[in-house]
Structure 1
């Protein structure tokens, strides 16, 4: 058995504190270091783009891959069309041959067409930005200093991009170019027509078992239930499955964001924008200001994805005060969540000692992390005898899918579901509402049973089965209607 070799790298990813020429404070960014130093132009591009840290990490990886390919592929650099087309081909087919050897030393596995096109799209945005920089010429990227060799190569791609505006345009027809906006770089290939993959939701028949038996923090033999149950994970999972929250949204909730409706004995949960949301105390402009001045922290979206405090934010719709209220369904689940959350506060929450405002903490009183909650959820799913995977619907996101499907199954309109799930576009919720293959098969069975005539049913004859060339035992129990 041959062992795969590690790829050679010409650009290494690191984390740096960067302050742009027009910025007042430093920000933490991913960066690329080559033999000639840090790629400054990339840092400037990332700092000017008001995008998520996940996007910044993807751009950095894409640029690093291009630099590695330029240095190691052996493709002549006097033809950008050949280079970019070859780069995309290498992304799609990989660089490893049948003997598991790779003359380039890259050792790239093959990627899906969509993934390869996404990488090219990220590079397109960067080269677009390069062409608009003052003093851009294909040799000098930054007007203050000369470009390094790596920057010169990237800038050269951008120069040809600006001159031609549609690299590889001669390889595509006008119709294809019009249909596909990514043709200007290397041409996004037309995908084969496919039906969207069915979205797996958490199996409802196992949810109560997950809550009652999956989330434990001590031996099941513990007599005191308060020591045995993991109330925190119960509360967080209820927010996803019956409140429709995304996993990342859990980690932006402050302790003050959870209130009690005394009349109904229900929880009222508000989820604020991580930075622009209203601070829970007077004297602060917003939550970003509140975190900085009181706790010396940043909004959790501003931490790098590789840092434990990072939590994403997918821009859900909010009101003018930059928050939305969780809509529990069925409404009685608001009471169930309140009970779990109160037990968590009374018996298990470790006091943060004024170090942060977040509702959910770890065993040391620090803000709970996505990675740790994923570990707890996976362990709970396995504990009740299920496999934990996205395909089975038993990952954390399967709960949000269950929430959306439950609303649709109970007659809520598309616009009502959009509002409940806080989508910006009414069609965004459709992916949560589609029936699974099993749903369709069950409906077919019910429809067939409803329309079935009173004709008697007979079992297949043995000679019919044997004529098919398969063992009779494998067809036992198969029936067919009489003619």
Structure 2
């Protein structure tokens, strides 16, 4: 049985508003329990969460259809389903009688699927009165320790934890029947910064060499906000024309505020007919639009930040180095002249200049394409592992402050993090930093050894490599008196 995911407009009351929900369709029609579950969580969960739930449910339904007569109870079915997500369904002979032809998925992917299905299976057991596929069972001592550690961490960092019940929850002693495998632990170095030595060339020759000067200025403004103020690329596209001000204390510097796309205060003290002052109401009443973070497909622009700087629900950018504020204002004045020549039916600051979409809000996918094209103009390709991607500019901003000795609390404020721990990934030394540090330390060790102040375990590496490697390097490529490769 084919299972297809698609979007549907669902009317849940007599108002004129329809909920646009991602659903699953089969030969028997809409998978109604899934739709009901998504509607109960519609207002509190994000689009990406809904996509994960639908994707995982689709896999589960496909597995159930391919193995209708194989299992006697739902728990065994779910256990085997999880196993097949890890192992795949293709045998050693390359055949799959089930017809699924799944290949093994990573631990992170499988755990994400199992986590997405957890709430759905709970909902089915509670609301549909069916047997639970993945119930809570008594946890092993090892799992109880892990649960307690997680409980302690949540309470330790909870802002209102001092007013909550400190007794250990009974759920600490419980665990899911199917929990998934433990993921690999990663070090703090989970991010690579955009190379500082490459930025000027990328800004001038890459972005600045676009055929349309309007596009060049627009993309340069976005990259300045990312590289010099640590903004995420998605947050930059929420900027409205009203959100850029001239610093009253320095008329050559720009003040930039990024408002929450829904709850941010509307500009110019605007009020709706019912007295609402938020941006969601402003967009609906003046332009019949929905905030970017509530739209889908290529029109969707996410919002990750949960911490704002002001009761009007905005974050203010902090330029570092501060000279970038003057550069931004100069480019912004040029950008406004270009913006005035196109017809717009929205308040967003960045627009498309393509003939088919001229004047419409700039899409995140279009920016990423233009970003890749700018790198190509200077002979590079996008490579996150090398630091050449939009989000790596935020990492560069954090590491720049760290190297300049900016206080961690100030860095937290500048990066708009809710916790000091959140900035570790942006400021911890990278692999290249550690390598360079140890190379410098080796040179210092050699100097101290030559001065007789310390004992180097291997004073002469050339002498060490002369003998003892005949069994692993019989041709003397790397070892011996006349190593062939080492001498080159």
SS across alignment from 2:298: coil
Deviation at 1:416, TM superposition (A): 1.8
Whole-Å separation in 1 of the counterparts to 2:206 and 2:108: 37
Q: Does 1:442 align with 2:436?
A: yes
What does the per-residue CA deviation read over 1:423-478, in whole Å, with 9 as the maximum and x for residues that have no partner?
1222111111121111011112223334422729978369817955433231127x
Whole-Å separation in 1 of the counterparts to 2:37 and 2:48: 15
Partner of 2:258 in structure 1?
271
Tell me if the contact between 1:120 and 1:185 (Cα under 8 Å) persists in the aligned partners: no
Q: 2:129 aligns with which of 110, 121, 137?
A: 137
Q: 1:297 aligns with which of 263, 267, 289?
A: 289
Partner of 1:6 in structure 2?
none
Whole-Å separation in 2 of the counterparts to 1:179 and 1:379: 46
Q: 1:453 aligns with which of 445, 448, 453?
A: 448
Cα gap change, 1:244 to 1:114, in 2 (>3 Å): same
Tell me if the contact between 1:249 and 1:271 (Cα under 8 Å) persists in the aligned partners: yes
Partner of 2:327 in structure 1?
336
Task: Give ranges in structure 1 of 5+ residues lacking alignment.
Answer: 1-8, 139-155, 220-225, 478-483
Whole-Å separation in 2 of the counterparts to 1:268 and 1:382: 32
Q: Does 1:176 align with 2:143?
A: yes
Whole-Å separation in 2 of the counterparts to 1:351 and 1:96: 59
Within 5 Å, which residues of 2 pair with 1:352-367? 353-363=343-353, 364-367=358-361
Please give the root-mean-square deviation of Cα atoms over the aligned residues, in Å: 2.7
TM-score scaled by length of structure 2 = 0.82
Partner of 1:231 in structure 2?
217
Cα gap change, 1:278 to 1:67, in 2 (>3 Å): same
Tell me if the contact between 2:246 and 2:255 (Cα under 8 Å) persists in the aligned partners: yes
Partner of 1:327 in structure 2?
318
Partner of 1:401 in structure 2?
395
Tell me if the contact between 1:351 and 1:365 (Cα under 8 Å) persists in the aligned partners: no
**Of 20-29 and 207-216, the range deviating more from structure 2:** 20-29
Whole-Å separation in 1 of the counterparts to 2:63 and 2:442: 57
Deviation at 1:253, TM superposition (A): 0.8
Deviation at 1:243, TM superposition (A): 0.9
Task: Give ranges in structure 2 of 5+ residues lacking alignment.
Answer: 148-171, 452-458, 478-482
Whole-Å separation in 2 of the counterparts to 1:463 and 1:197: 33
Deviation at 1:360, TM superposition (A): 0.3
Whole-Å separation in 2 of the counterparts to 1:205 and 1:310: 33
Deviation at 1:352, TM superposition (A): 5.2
Cα gap change, 1:23 to 1:419, in 2 (>3 Å): farther
Cα gap change, 1:442 to 1:70, in 2 (>3 Å): same
Whole-Å separation in 2 of the counterparts to 1:188 and 1:251: 37
Within 5 Å, which residues of 2 pair with 1:40-59? 40-49=32-41, 50-59=44-53
Q: Does 1:71 align with 2:65?
A: yes
Whole-Å separation in 1 of the counterparts to 2:253 and 2:67: 62
Tell me if the contact between 1:358 and 1:367 (Cα under 8 Å) persists in the aligned partners: yes
Q: 1:250 aligns with which of 216, 230, 236?
A: 236
